[in-house]
């Protein structure tokens, strides 16, 4: 090869490398369309460059276009058979496409190629997790934490896998790992959100709400947060229903006399207020608009809370009028809500 | 190449198209070949057939546009009969060329031009023959070209245009040119356009840093470049520095754990903006982004981008200006702008341009099919508006979450108020 040709070759390589880096940067700041364009433009000059193919495949992973992304990853592997990244991207796309067996194989290939690389092990752990092999996934995640103990992402991976496991011990592991993630990266919205989910699962709705509001502040654009808030409000509404059911039994038992009714209603209202305060005591001021917004996003939730507000209103009316048998309408409303919940559950499961 | 020279490839492809009339890619391929061989009118007919089979198909639309451009250009189709010199088109006004192997666009337009019942282009301008000068595409845009959006313009005027014009007076009131203003809002609603209009006002007192400059910064030489940009701005003070798509430059550092280079750029931007706010040295930074919530919160602290200005989908006067601009160069007839403005609430500027394109394609396809120019009407645009939904929906869905979760410091009050007014919160 002549000197001049060698120089040209070198300049060309540089150009391709620069295009790959450009694409990676654009992906890092979420400009997936631009990133894809840059990567594809680079590929017209050099269709077999593994860096460009990897960059393109990674962009498509973020864009959740897994068929195309898999094709790019396959090409990257063909161009550089011992490159870890190509195998990792293949594994992740395969996993998202539900082809778990191949995905796990590709993931395993990554850790054999680069046994000390946390990113390789992370990819492997994710494929195992999505394939439902949670025990294996957890062990690999522990290895990731050993390899990169100071990276928040390692602990987040461990927490995420552990929180998928049903036993209480794993849940404790998950909680600790989430907390460690937040110590290393206090603005990690995903960890904050998922920790709140653990709180909700552990029947601590108020704590969950507080965590969710914090997660929302960290990353307000994340659409799942408001949906999780709605889920927690469903949970809270069940508590309210059970409480109202019990309270109504007492109310009807005391409905013989006007004073009895009034006293019972006063007790129920006072106890409701007390319980409410106790649950929601240390929610931030911002909770109110968030809760209102979440209730409004979901029609069924709106209906439920309107109905529960009506029940409280009935108790106020009893307190004023002394007519205790009005509490029967609370039961009617609660039964109606039960049907609503049942119908919604069937409908949503079908979707 | 002449149209009647035998062309085996084309002949066989044409046969294939006849055999599979609904194969859109095949038809487009044929159209492409026809266009390349100068048989533009036939190409257009295939395009419009393809568009009927697959409405809105982007390749088909692209080809259609190119085909029209080729036809509109006076001398590009080689098969145009040389007997009709482009210099004397008026001569053909009354007598028609007997045989037209090609569809002659200009000729057709002239044919229609003297049909007496043709209405004035814009309804409310009956009697005014000149519509061309309403919004001509001047090389630089001025604020006067930005339709509507009075509030936004006022805020721009107050925060830096005024001080730029009267620096001494501004200083006397303790309002020297310093700090930054961040334009934000749904995509395609005129942030960049507004900033360019500001540039038109300020001339040399304005410079822009776009996404590609930012990308260059990332490629190693980054921090020095940013410093360089600010140094030049200081030297030219009073000066407005426009950083477009600033989310690409000032992304949350916590999102950038994997890219030390990017984090450095953010740090450098913070330093540069701090050095501005202290010294009051006559540089104002204007930023624009669709996603202010992705920007590192340190960038929004006092002295940096401490003011935010919401640029909403165009209001009625703005929509009128945009529609007018997008329609005035096309063959139109009886366009009722008022009606269109009413029907397009919530559409972005880019959406409106897209509507006009879609409507024009439809009218063009009709024209090609019949061989006579059918001008674009109000109905075409309204039909397009029914098919094309405003693209701002997803942005507002996100914005709603932001107003709920991210407004504890009141920085999104303007957004929250708008959402509430439109019953989106
Ligand atoms: N008020 C307006 N007046 C005239 N044209 C406008 C107006 N608002 C938007 N446009 C048009 O919309 C197009 C898209 O706007 P742009 O500035 O690119 O959007 P953004 O930067 O907000 O994403 C511009 O090219 C411009 O022609
Ligand atoms: Mg823009």
Q: According to the model, what pLDDT value does residue B212 have?
A: 73
Q: According to the model, what pLDDT value does residue B54 have?
A: 72
Backbone φ, ψ for residue B189 (5° rounding): -105, 15
Contact B254 A185 (CB under 8 A): yes
pLDDT tier, A276 (very low <50, low <70, confident <90, very high otherwise): confident
- Among the ranges given (A215-229, B262-276, B283-297), the one the predictor scored with the smallest mean pLDDT: B262-276
Q: Mean pLDDT over all residues of chain A? A: 90
Contact A28 B257 (CB under 8 A): no
- Mutation test residue for ligand 1: of B186, B188, B193, the one with most atoms within 8 Å of CB: B193
Q: Is B191 in the pocket of ligand 1 (CB under 6 A)?
A: yes
How many interchain CB pairs under 8 A, A with B? 78
More confident residue, B154 or B8: B154
- Domains in chain B, CATH or no CATH each: 8-73+99-126 (1.25.40), 132-310 (3.40.50.300), 316-387 (1.10.8.60)
Mean pLDDT to the nearest integer, A23-42:
90
Minimum-distance CB partner of B259 among A18, A28, A293: A28
Q: Is B318 in the pocket of ligand 1 (CB under 6 A)?
A: yes
Ligand 2 centroid to Cα of residue B195, in Å, is: 9
Q: Is B350 in the pocket of ligand 1 (CB under 6 A)?
A: yes
Q: Is B269 in the pocket of ligand 1 (CB under 6 A)?
A: no
List the strands of the sheet with B180-184, edge to edge: B206-209, B239-243, B283-289, B180-184, B307-310
pLDDT digits (tens, 9 = 90+) for A135-165: 999 999 999 999 999 999 999 999 999 999 9
- Mutation test residue for ligand 1: of B135, B152, B190, B341, the one with most atoms within 8 Å of CB: B190
Query: Which of B243, B263, B404, B425 is the best residue to mutate to test the A interface, defined by the most A CB atoms within 10 Å of its own CB?
Result: B404
Ligand 2 centroid to Cα of residue B140, in Å, is: 16
Q: Which atom of ligand 1 is nearest to the CA of B318?
A: 1
pLDDT tier, A331 (very low <50, low <70, confident <90, very high otherwise): confident
More confident residue, A351 or A39: A39
Contact B218 A220 (CB under 8 A): no
- Among the ranges given (A288-292, B93-97, B130-134), the one the predictor scored with the smallest mean pLDDT: B130-134
Residue entry with tokens 């540069």: B272
pLDDT surpasses 90 at B405:
yes
Minimum-distance CB partner of B404 among A21, A28, A293: A293
Residue entry with tokens 């546009």: B65
Q: According to the model, what pLDDT value does residue B74 have?
A: 39
Backbone φ, ψ for residue A75 (5° rounding): -65, -40
- Among the ranges given (B157-161, B173-177, B243-247), the one the predictor scored with the smallest mean pLDDT: B173-177
Contact B219 A153 (CB under 8 A): no
- Provide the percentage of residues in chain A whose pLDDT is more than 90: 62
Could you tell me the residue ranges of all domains in chain A?
149-222, 230-350
**Taking CB atoms and an 8 Å cutoff, what residues of chain B touch A291?**
none
Q: Is the CB of A133 inside 8 Å of chain B's CB atoms?
A: no
Q: According to the model, what pLDDT value does residue B250 have?
A: 82
Ligand 2 centroid to Cα of residue B81, in Å, is: 45
| Shortest Cα–Cα distance, B205 to chain A (Å) | 30
Q: According to the model, what pLDDT value does residue A85 have?
A: 96
- Provide the percentage of residues in chain B whose pLDDT is more than 70: 71
The 3-class SS string of chain B reads: CCCCCCCHHHHHHHHHHHHCCCCHHHHHHHHHHHHHCCCHHHHHHHHHHHHHHCCCCHHHHHHHHHHHHHHHCCCCCCCCCCCCCCCCHHHHHCCCCCCCCCCCHHHHHHHHHCCCCCCCCEHHHCCCCCCCCCCCCCCCCCHHHCCCCHHHHHHHHHHHHHHHHCHHHHHHCCCCCCCEEEEECCCCCCHHHHHHHHHHHHHHHEEEECHHHHHHHHCCCHHHHHHHHHHHHHHCCCEEEEECCHHHCCECHHHHCCCHHHHHHHHHHHHHHHHHHHHCCCEEEEEEECCHHHECHHHHCCCCCCEEEECCCCCHHHHHHHHHHHHCCCCECCECHHHHHHHCCCCCHHHHHHHHHHHHHHHHHHHHHHCCCCCECHHHHHHHHHHCCCCCHHHHHHHHHHHHHCCCCCCCHHHHHHHHHCCCC
Separation of alpha carbons A60 and A72, rounded Å:
9
Q: According to the model, what pLDDT value does residue A26 have?
A: 86
More confident residue, B88 or A10: A10
Q: According to the model, what pLDDT value does residue A258 have?
A: 87
- Mark A228-265 as b/e (b = at least 16 C-beta within 10 Å): bbbbbbbebbeebbebbeebbeebbebbeeeeebbebb
Q: Name the closest-CA residue to atom 16, ligand 1.
A: B190
Q: Take residue A80 and report the two structure tokens written for it.
A: 């550089």
Name the most confidently modeled range: A329-333, B65-69, B89-93.
Answer: A329-333
Mean pLDDT to the nearest integer, B139-145:
78
Minimum-distance CB partner of A221 among B254, B262, B402: B402
Query: Which of B401, B410, B415, B422 is the best residue to mutate to test the A interface, defined by the most A CB atoms within 10 Å of its own CB?
Result: B401
CB A198 within 8 A of CB A207: no
pLDDT surpasses 80 at B209:
yes
pLDDT tier, A231 (very low <50, low <70, confident <90, very high otherwise): very high
- Provide the percentage of residues in chain A whose pLDDT is more than 70: 96
Mean pLDDT to the nearest integer, A304-328:
89
Q: Is the CB of A220 inside 8 Å of chain B's CB atoms?
A: yes
Mean pLDDT to the nearest integer, B122-127:
42
Question: Domain A149-222 is classified in which CATH homologous superfamily?
Answer: Tetratricopeptide repeat domain (1.25.40.10)
Mean pLDDT to the nearest integer, B370-376:
87
Minimum-distance CB partner of A289 among B261, B262, B404: B404
Name the H helices within A63-133.
Answer: 66-79, 84-96, 100-113, 118-130
Separation of alpha carbons B32 and B28, rounded Å:
6
| Shortest Cα–Cα distance, B59 to chain A (Å) | 17
Mean pLDDT to the nearest integer, B400-411:
91
Query: Which of A221, A289, A297, A302 is the best residue to mutate to test the B interface, defined by the most B CB atoms within 10 Å of its own CB?
Result: A221
pTM: 0.75
Q: Name the closest-CA residue to atom 19, ligand 1.
A: B188
Contact A151 B257 (CB under 8 A): yes
pLDDT tier, B105 (very low <50, low <70, confident <90, very high otherwise): very low
pLDDT digits (tens, 9 = 90+) for B299-347: 888 878 888 999 999 999 999 999 999 998 888 888 889 999 999 999 9
Q: Mean pLDDT over all residues of chain B? A: 75
Q: According to the model, what pLDDT value does residue B82 have?
A: 35
Query: Which of A26, A29, A211, A293 is the best residue to mutate to test the B interface, defined by the most B CB atoms within 10 Å of its own CB?
Result: A29
pLDDT digits (tens, 9 = 90+) for A186-203: 989 999 999 999 999 998
Compute the half-sphere exposure of residue A293: CA atoms within 13 Å on the CB side of its CA. Answer: 27
Q: Name the closest-CA residue to atom 20, ligand 1.
A: B188
pLDDT tier, B99 (very low <50, low <70, confident <90, very high otherwise): very low
Question: Which residues on chain B place their C-beta less than 8 Å from a C-beta of chain A?
Answer: 211, 215, 218-219, 247-248, 251-252, 254-259, 261-262, 291, 293-294, 397-398, 400-402, 404-406, 408, 425
| Shortest Cα–Cα distance, A289 to chain B (Å) | 6
Q: According to the model, what pLDDT value does residue B39 have?
A: 74
More confident residue, A343 or A75: A75
Mean pLDDT to the nearest integer, A303-324:
90
Separation of alpha carbons B269 and A256, rounded Å:
75
Q: According to the model, what pLDDT value does residue B64 have?
A: 66
pLDDT surpasses 70 at A284:
yes
Minimum-distance CB partner of B247 among A29, A153, A223: A29
Q: Which atom of ligand 1 is nearest to the CA of B326?
A: 27
Residue B219 CA, distance from chain mean position: 29
Q: Is B188 in the pocket of ligand 1 (CB under 6 A)?
A: yes
What is each CA distance from B244 to A258, B207, B248, in whole angstroms?
71, 11, 9
Separation of alpha carbons B224 and A257, rounded Å:
85
Q: Name the closest-CA residue to atom 25, ligand 1.
A: B193
Other Cβ atoms within 10 Å of A135 Cβ, number: 10
Contact A290 B251 (CB under 8 A): no
Ligand 1 centroid to Cα of residue B198, in Å, is: 13
Q: According to the model, what pLDDT value does residue B96 have?
A: 40
pLDDT tier, B385 (very low <50, low <70, confident <90, very high otherwise): very high
pLDDT surpasses 90 at B412:
yes
- Among the ranges given (A12-16, A75-79, B385-389), the one the predictor scored with the smallest mean pLDDT: A12-16
Minimum-distance CB partner of A217 among B257, B397, B405: B405
pLDDT tier, A87 (very low <50, low <70, confident <90, very high otherwise): very high
């Amino acid at each position: 090869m002549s000197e001049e040709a060698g120089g040209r070759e070198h300049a060309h390589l540089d150009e391709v490398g620069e295009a790959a880096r450009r694409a990676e940067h654009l992906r890092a700041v979420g400009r997936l369309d631009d990133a894809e364009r840059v990567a594809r433009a680079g590929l017209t000059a050099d269709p077999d460059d593994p860096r460009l193919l990897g960059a393109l495949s990674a962009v498509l992973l973020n864009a959740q276009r897994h068929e195309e992304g898999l094709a790019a990853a396959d090409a990257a592997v063909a161009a550089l058979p011992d490159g870890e990244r190509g195998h990792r991207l293949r594994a992740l796309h395969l996993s998202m496409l539900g082809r778990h067996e191949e995905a796990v194989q590709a993931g395993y290939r990554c850790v054999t190629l680069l046994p000390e690389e946390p990113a390789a092990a992370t990819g492997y752990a994710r494929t195992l997790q999505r394939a439902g092999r949670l025990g294996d996934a957890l062990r690999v995640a522990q290895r990731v934490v050993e390899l990169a103990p100071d990276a928040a992402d390692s602990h987040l991976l461990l927490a995420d896998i552990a929180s998928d496991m049903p036993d209480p011990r794993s849940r404790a592991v998950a909680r600790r790992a989430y907390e460690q993630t937040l110590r290393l990266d206090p603005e990690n919205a995903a960890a904050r959100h998922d920790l709140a989910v653990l709180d909700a699962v552990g029947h601590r709705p108020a704590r969950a709400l507080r965590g969710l509001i914090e997660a929302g502040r960290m990353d307000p654009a994340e659409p799942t947060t408001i949906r999780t808030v709605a889920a927690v409000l469903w949970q809270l509404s069940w508590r309210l229903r059970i409480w109202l059911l019990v309270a109504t039994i007492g109310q009807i038992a005391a409905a013989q006399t006007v004073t009895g009714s009034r006293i019972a209603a006063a007790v129920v209202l006072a106890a409701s207020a007390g319980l409410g305060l106790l649950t929601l005591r240390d929610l931030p001021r911002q909770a109110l608009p968030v809760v209102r917004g979440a209730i409004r996003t979901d029609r069924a939730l709106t209906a439920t809370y309107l109905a529960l507000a009506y029940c409280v209103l009935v108790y106020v009316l009893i307190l004023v009028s002394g007519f205790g048998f009005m509490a029967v309408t609370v039961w009617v409303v609660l039964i109606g809500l039960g049907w609503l919940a049942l119908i919604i559950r069937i409908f949503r499961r079908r979707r | 190449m002449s149209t009647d020279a035998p062309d085996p490839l084309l002949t066989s492809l044409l046969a294939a198209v006849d055999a599979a009339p609904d194969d859109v890619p095949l038809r487009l391929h044929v159209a492409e070949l026809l266009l390349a061989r100068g048989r533009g009118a036939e190409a257009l007919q295939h395009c419009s057939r393809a568009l009927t089979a697959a409405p809105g198909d982007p390749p088909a639309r692209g080809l259609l546009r190119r085909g029209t451009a080729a036809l509109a250009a006076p001398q590009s189709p080689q098969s145009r009969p040389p007997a009709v010199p482009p210099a004397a088109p008026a001569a053909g006004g009354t007598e028609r060329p007997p045989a037209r192997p090609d569809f002659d666009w200009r000729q057709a337009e002239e044919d229609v031009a003297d049909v007496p019942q043709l209405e004035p282009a814009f309804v409310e301008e009956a009697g005014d023959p000149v519509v061309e000068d309403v919004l001509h595409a001047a090389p630089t845009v001025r604020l006067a070209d930005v339709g509507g959006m009075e509030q936004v313009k006022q805020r721009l005027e107050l925060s830096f245009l005024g001080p730029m014009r009267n620096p001494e007076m501004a200083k006397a009131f303790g309002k020297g040119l310093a700090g930054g203003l961040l334009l934000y809002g749904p995509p395609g609603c005129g942030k960049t356009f507004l900033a360019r209009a500001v540039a038109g006002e300020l001339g040399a007192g304005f410079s822009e840093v776009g996404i590609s400059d930012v990308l260059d910064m990332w490629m190693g030489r980054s921090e020095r470049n940013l410093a360089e940009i600010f140094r030049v701005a200081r030297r030219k003070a009073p000066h407005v520095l426009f950083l477009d798509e600033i989310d690409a430059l000032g992304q949350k550092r916590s999102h950038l754990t994997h890219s030390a280079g990017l984090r450095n750029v953010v740090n450098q931007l913070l330093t540069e903006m701090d050095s501005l706010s202290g010294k009051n040295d006559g540089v104002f930074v204007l930023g624009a982004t669709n996603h202010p919530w992705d920007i590192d919160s340190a960038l929004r602290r006092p002295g940096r981008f401490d003011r935010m200005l919401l640029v909403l989908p165009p209001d009625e006067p703005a929509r009128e200006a945009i529609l007018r601009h997008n329609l005035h160069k096309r063959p139109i007839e009886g366009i009722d702008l008022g009606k269109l403005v009413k029907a397009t609430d919530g559409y972005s500027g880019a959406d409106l341009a897209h509507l006009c394109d879609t409507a024009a394609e439809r009218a063009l396809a009709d024209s090609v099919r019949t061989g006579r120019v059918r001008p674009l009407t109000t109905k075409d645009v309204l039909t397009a508006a029914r098919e094309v939904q405003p693209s701002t929906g997803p942005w507002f869905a996100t914005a709603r979450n932001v107003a709920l979760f991210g407004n504890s410091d009141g920085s999104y009050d303007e957004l929250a108020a708008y959402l509430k007014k439109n019953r989106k919160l």
